[in-house]
């Protein structure tokens, strides 16, 4: 009988510890990241508890909802974690290591650069929070890598916060740009075309210019461009640097929704 009770208690405690984590925001809403399979169960749970789902972005997995169990955490801000950074759970147990940044998955370009993480022991569930040594929320587990059982993709917390900022401001999540198309195959992010009557064209950018940086982030290839553009917010000016005929051009441009 004691063994049975112990098993029941153990199962109950594990059930409490498992599941999706939520970050409580200043306005009372909560955010997390879930992959497609986890989202089905999580959205079902939310509806059963008569809570509201404000938005679920299928492209990135961000889920913004009403959740009284969400907790406030200090987050890691906008800096990126370098390779070999150790990641921990809420209790301070080491659970993963950052291997690097990943901009492609299954031959397709990702909407932003994810952390590729190596699990320390078991696989991490989608929606698990990952903290750095300073106990700051640094990333949210997104999905496992089917090719490697001990690896997966984690969303930088700044990506989730960017989408939340956009939703708070505009009531929906929108992708933004300045009206340029850059080369996918070239060794440099050369401007292939400039759309008329958009911020880049209005700022004087021309075909053949080389994109150097966005909001202080160096741009060296097409994937850097995609990652940097993900963090642009409609109506929020950012600094852009270009190279033309050996001269650097610095412009403040205000992105617009696509």
Task: List pLDDT tens digits, range 39-98.
Answer: 999 999 999 999 999 999 999 999 999 999 999 999 987 778 999 999 999 999 999 999
Among 73, 65, 56, 80, CA closest to 28: 65
106: how many CB neighbours lie within 10 A of its CB? 8
Q: Provide the token pair at 70.
A: 């969400």
CA angle (160, 163, 167) in 5-degree steps: 135
Looking at the DSSP bridge assignments, the partners of residue 32 are 63
- What pLDDT is stored for residue 109 in this prediction? 87
- For 176-257, CATH number out of 2.30.42.10, 3.90.1150.10, 3.40.50.300, 3.30.540.10 equals 2.30.42.10
Q: What is the pLDDT of residue 62?
A: 95
First to last CA, the chain: 63
**Domain range annotation of the chain:** 86-162, 176-257
Mean pLDDT of 234-239: 91
CB 74 within 8 A of CB 135: yes
pLDDT at 122: 78
Tell me, what's the pLDDT at 215?
93
| 249 Ramachandran zone, left/alpha/beta (phi>0; psi -120 to 50) | beta
Summarize pLDDT for 128-153 with one digit per residue, the tens: 999 999 999 999 999 998 888 899 99
Best CA proximity match to 162, nearest among 105, 205, 112, 101: 112
What is the pLDDT of the chain when averaged over all its residues? 89
Is 11 a residue whose pLDDT tops 50?
A: no
Average pLDDT of the residues in 182-194: 89
Give residue for tokens 């996918």: 184
Q: What is the pTM of this model?
A: 0.86
CB atoms closer than 10 angstroms to residue 147: 8
Average pLDDT over residues 11-27: 66
155 — pLDDT class (breaks 50, 70, 90): very high
How big, in percent rounded to 5, are the helix, strand and coil portions of the chain? 20, 40, 40
Give the three-state DSSP class for 76. Answer: coil
Distance CA 22, CA 68 (A): 9
Quickly name the fold that domain 86-162 has.
Thrombin, subunit H (2.40.10)
H/E element, 240: strand 238-244
Element (H, E) at 180: strand 180-182
Residue 186 has pLDDT above 80, yes or no: no
Query: Is residue 161 over pLDDT 80?
Result: yes
Per-residue pLDDT at 243 exceeds 80: yes
| 31 contacts 23 by C-beta, under 8 angstroms | yes
Exposure string for 44-66, b = 16+ CB within 10 A, e = fewer? eebeeeeeeebbbbeebbbbbbb
* Contact assessment for residue 150 and residue 136, using Cβ atoms and an 8 Å cutoff: no
pLDDT at 172: 87
Does an H or E element contain 155, and which? strand 148-156
Give the model confidence (pLDDT) of 197-219 as tens digits: 999 999 999 999 999 999 999 99
In tens, the pLDDT along 98-130 reads 999 999 887 788 999 999 999 998 789 999 999
CB 217 within 8 A of CB 101: no
């Amino acid at each position: 009988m004691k063994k049975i009770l112990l098993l029941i208690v153990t199962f109950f405690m594990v059930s409490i510890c498992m599941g999706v984590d939520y970050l409580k925001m200043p306005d009372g809403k909560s955010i997390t990241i879930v992959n497609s399979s986890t989202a089905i169960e999580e959205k079902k749970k939310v509806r059963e508890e008569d809570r509201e789902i404000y938005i679920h972005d299928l492209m990135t997995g961000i889920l913004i909802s009403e959740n009284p169990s969400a907790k406030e955490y200090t987050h890691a801000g906008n800096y990126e974690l370098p390779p070999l950074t150790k990641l921990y759970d809420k209790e301070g147990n080491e659970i993963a290591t950052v291997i690097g940044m990943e901009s492609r998955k299954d031959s397709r370009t990702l909407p932003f650069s994810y952390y590729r993480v190596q699990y320390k022991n078991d696989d991490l569930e989608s929606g698990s929070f990952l903290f750095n040594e300073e106990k700051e929320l640094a990333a949210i587990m997104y999905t496992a890598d089917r090719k490697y059982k001990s690896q997966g993709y984690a969303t930088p917390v700044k990506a989730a916060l960017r989408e939340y900022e956009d939703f708070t401001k505009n009531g929906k999540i929108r992708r933004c740009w300045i009206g340029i198309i850059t080369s996918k195959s070239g060794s440099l992010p050369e401007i292939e075309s400039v759309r008329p009557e958009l911020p880049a064209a209005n700022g004087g950018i021309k075909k053949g210019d080389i994109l150097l940086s966005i909001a202080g982030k160096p741009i060296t290839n097409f994937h850097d461009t995609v990652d940097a553009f993900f963090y642009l917010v409609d109506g929020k000016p950012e600094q852009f640097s270009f190279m033309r005929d050996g001269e650097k051009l610095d412009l403040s441009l205000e992105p617009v929704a696509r």
